[in-house]
Amino acid sequence: MHAASLALAQRWEHDLGDPESPRSPINFSSALALDEREEFPSDHLAALTALGCFEALIPATEGGALAEPEQLVLLGRLIARRDPTTAIAFGQTMLGSLPVWLAGNTAQKQRLAADLRGGRLGCLALTEKDHGSDILANTFSARLQDDRFVFTGEKWLINNGRMGGSATVMGKLQRPGRAPEAALWWLRKTGAPAAGWREHPKIPTHGIRGADISGFDLDGYTAGRDTQLQGDEPALYTLLKTLQVSRILCSGFSLGALDTLFRLTLRFAHERHLYGKGVIEIPVVRARLAGCFTRILAADALAQVCGRAIAALPAQLSLWSAVAKFQVPTEAEAVARELAVVLGARHYVRSEAPWGLFQKLMRDNQVVSLFDGSTQVNLSLIASQLRALGEGLRRPTDVDAGVIDALLQPAAGCAGWPAQAELQLSNQGCDAIVQTFLHTPAWPAFENTTLQAVEGLQAAWRSWLADAEQVTKVLRLPQDAVRTMALAQRYAGLHAAALLVLVCDRQATAGIDGPCSQSLLLTFLSAHGLAGGLHLPDSVHDEVMDQASSMVAQRRLLSLQTFTLAG
C-alpha cells in the first residue's frame, strides 16, 4: 500500500482510539452492550461519518479518498476488530455502492457520493426468501407505466434493509412482447417509506445481533427511469463483477475479528497458570497458538494480494475473489475454534470482561462466510473453472513479472479503480500466483528444511493436477459432483499455500527480517499437511510464538503490513 494511503488508515486508527477504553467512539464495552440489546450501532456509524471514513467508499476517480482498493480491506479490518456488526453495516453500504461505481451514470455517481459523505447507509438487495442464492429464479420485477417503473416483489434477509437510505435492487424488467431481462435499480429513500414500499421488521440472528437484517416488499412502488443502472454491459454481468470486488473486501471483517480473538487468547495464555506452569509454557498450547498465528498471516497475505489485484490485475478476480471468499472466512472460523479450545470455558461466557467479547466476535465472524456468496457458491465458482485451470496451470503465466512483484510486496501500492470491462467472467485457465509458484525453477533463499516443505507443496500440486485431469477430462463429472467440489476446496487451500511461499520467498530474497519468516511458512504448511510429512521440532513453534508475542506487545496489527494499533 502506498505510504499516503497507509498514513490515512493510520490516522483513522488513531482517531478511533483504543477499543478497550470506554471513551473511544467504537469500543468493546459499547459493542458488547449493543449486541446484548440487539440494538443497531447508530452511534458507531455516526462516529465513522464524523471521522470521514465514508470518504473511503468513494473512489478517488469520483473525488473520494479511495486511492487504492486495499485501503478498504484494511479499514474494514480496523472497524471489525472493534465491532464486526458496525463493520458489516459499513461494508454493506459499499456493496450497495459498487454497482453504481461500475455501471452508474455521472448523475447517479454524484448523488451517491453526496449520500455517502453524509453517512447515508445503503444495501444490495438480491435475495428472496423462496430462492436464496439462486438469483436467476427471483421473481422481483418492474414494468414501465407512464414513463415510470412500477415495482412488485419482496427482498428478504437484506443487511441495512430498513436503515439504509438507498437500495440497489436486482430484478427482472418486464416489457410487452419481450422476454424478461435482468436489471439493476438504485432506489433512494426520501424520509418515511413511500406508497407501495413496506419494510420488514428486523430478523433476529445468531451473530451480529444488532445488525439491521430485514427486507422489504414493493407493491406498486414507483420510481423514475433515472433509477435504472444502465452500463455498457448486461445487468447480470454488473452484478457478477460487483461480487468479485465485494468478496475480497469481506476478508477484512474476518481478519479484524481474528485480530481481537487472538489477542484475547494470548493474554489469557500469558496470565493463566495451570498445573504449576503458565498456560503459554505448555508445548501443545504453544503449538496450537503458533498454528493459529500462521493461519492468520496466511489469510492476511491472501486478502492483501487480492485487494491489490482489484486495481492491478482485475482480469483474474473471477477466480481469486472466490478463493479469497472461501478461504479467508473458513480459515477464520477454524482459527476461532482453535482459540476457543485454549480459552476453555471462558469462550462461552457473555458477561465477564473481557472474555464476553470473545463469544460475540466468534458468533459475528460466522456470518462472513454466508453473504456475498456462501462457501458453497464460491466453491461452485472455482469448480466451474477447474477444467481450464487443469490445462492452463501447466504453462507459465504471461502476466508481467513486475505486476506479480507488486502484488506480493506489502509496501507496494496498487492505485486505481477498475473499469467494468477490465473485470472478466472467467480466468480462462489462468492463475498468475499458482503459475508463478509452479514454474519457479529454484528457491535459493530458502533453507534446506524449508525447501523440503516447498517440495511437499509442489507434490501436492502435482497430485491436484492429476486429479483434475481425471475428474474433468476422463470422468467428466458435473460441476456439482462431490469429487469436483472437493477438488475446488483443495484448490483454494493450495492457492493460499502457494501464495504464502511466494511472499516468504520475496522477503527472504530481499533479506528483510519481516513477519513472513521461514518458520512461519513451515508451521503453516505442516499444519495443513502440505509439508511432505515433515515433522517440526518445538523450537519452530517457539520461534513463531516469539514473533506473535512481539507483534502483540508492540501493538502491531497481525499482518504482513507494518501497522500500529491505537492504545
pLDDT digit string, tens, across residues 135-150: 899 999 999 999 999 9
With a cut of 90, say whether residue 26 has pLDDT above it.
yes
H or E stretch at 372? none
CA distances from 366 to 129, 280, 437 (A): 20, 27, 31
66: left (phi over 0), alpha (psi -120 to 50) or beta: beta
With a cut of 80, say whether residue 420 has pLDDT above it.
yes
* Residue 323 main-chain phi, psi, to 5 deg: -60, -50
pLDDT at residue 454, rounded to an integer? 98
pLDDT at residue 242, rounded to an integer? 98
The CA distance from 468 to 390, in Å, is 6
**pLDDT 10s digits, 304-347:** 999 999 999 999 999 999 999 999 999 999 999 999 999 999 99
The average pLDDT across 15-42 equals 97
The average pLDDT across 273-295 equals 94
> Quick check: 431 and 464 in contact, CB under 8 A?
no
pLDDT at residue 393, rounded to an integer? 98
Side-chain-side CA neighbours of residue 351 (13 Å): 0
Task: Calculate ∠ Cα 165-166-171, nearest 5°.
Answer: 155
**What does the buried/exposed string (b/e) look like for 13-37 if buried means 16 or more CB atoms within 10 Å of the residue's CB?**
bebbbbbeeeebbbbbbbbbebbee
With a cut of 90, say whether residue 411 has pLDDT above it.
no
One-letter amino acid at 495 equals H
The rounded percent of the chain whose pLDDT value lies above 90 is: 94
Euclidean distance between the first and the last CA atom of the chain, given in angstroms as a whole number: 23
The CA distance from 257 to 328, in Å, is 12
pLDDT at residue 386, rounded to an integer? 98
175-178 own/partner pairs: CB under 8 Å, 24+ apart? 175/143, 175/144
pLDDT at residue 2, rounded to an integer? 93
Residue 149's beta-bridge partner residues? 144, 223
**pLDDT 10s digits, 438-468:** 999 999 999 999 999 999 999 999 999 999 9
With a cut of 90, say whether residue 373 has pLDDT above it.
no
pLDDT at residue 43, rounded to an integer? 98
pLDDT at residue 132, rounded to an integer? 86
Higher pLDDT, 514 or 121: 121
pLDDT at residue 105, rounded to an integer? 97
H or E stretch at 153? strand 148-159
pLDDT at residue 352, rounded to an integer? 77
With a cut of 80, say whether residue 191 has pLDDT above it.
no
**Where residue 276 falls among pLDDT bands split at 50, 70, 90?**
confident
pLDDT at residue 524, rounded to an integer? 97
pLDDT at residue 88, rounded to an integer? 98
With a cut of 90, say whether residue 190 has pLDDT above it.
no
pLDDT at residue 388, rounded to an integer? 98
The CA distance from 409 to 427, in Å, is 23
Residue written as cell 513479472?
401
Higher pLDDT, 310 or 533: 310
pLDDT at residue 363, rounded to an integer? 97
